[in-house]
Amino acid sequence: MALRDLLHVFVVDDMSTSRGLILQALDAFGIRNVRHAADANSALKALETQPAHLVISDFNMPGMDGLQLLQTLRQHPQLKGTGFILITGKAEKSLIEAGQRLGMNNFIKKPFSPTDLQKCIESVVGRL
């Protein structure tokens, strides 16, 4: 069985268009175990109920941003080992360094192609 058949991914993005593009790309990669939320608080509640292997989260969201979500995941006993990819429109050095300090596994800058996203995911979980 291929990794893509076993992998559980959770997408967090407040913009429905961006979320839809990511979901479409994951489907094209053959990843079928995908859930999503429009905000970090909803994502946390869902992940506490049913954890995922990988979270792909936008940085800029109202309420709790992507780095705050990452920090909360890393402090959570059951979720601290979850893979985490941050999506950002501004890949500023300070933002990336903050993410790395918090335990971010990888990041991708908007706009990105499906191929870029696949490479980013594979750098965290292995070949799909």
Task: Specify whether the CB–CB gap between 47 and 70 falls below 8 A.
Answer: no
Distance CA 18, CA 109 (A): 12
Which CATH class, in words, describes the domain spanning 3-123? alpha beta
**Cα separation of 81 and 79, whole Å?**
6
pLDDT at res. 57: 98
Question: pTM value?
Answer: 0.97
Could you read off the pLDDT tens digit of each residue along the chain, which spans 128 residues? 899 999 999 999 999 999 999 999 999 999 999 999 999 999 999 999 999 999 999 999 999 999 999 999 999 999 999 999 999 998 899 999 999 999 999 999 999 999 999 999 999 999 99
The whole-number pLDDT of residue 4 equals: 92
Domain boundaries, the chain: 3-123
DSSP structure string for the chain: --HHHH-EEEEE-S-HHHHHHHHHHHHHTT--EEEEESSHHHHHHHHHHS--SEEEEES--SSS-HHHHHHHHHHSTTTTT-EEEEEES---HHHHHHHHHHT--EEEESS--HHHHHHHHHHHH---
Structure tokens at 94: 């300070």
Task: Report the pLDDT value the prediction gives residue 1, as an integer from 0 to 100.
Answer: 82
Residues 85 and 15: their CA atoms lie apart, in Å, by: 17
Is the previous residue joined to 111 through a cis bond, with omega within 30 degrees of 0?
yes
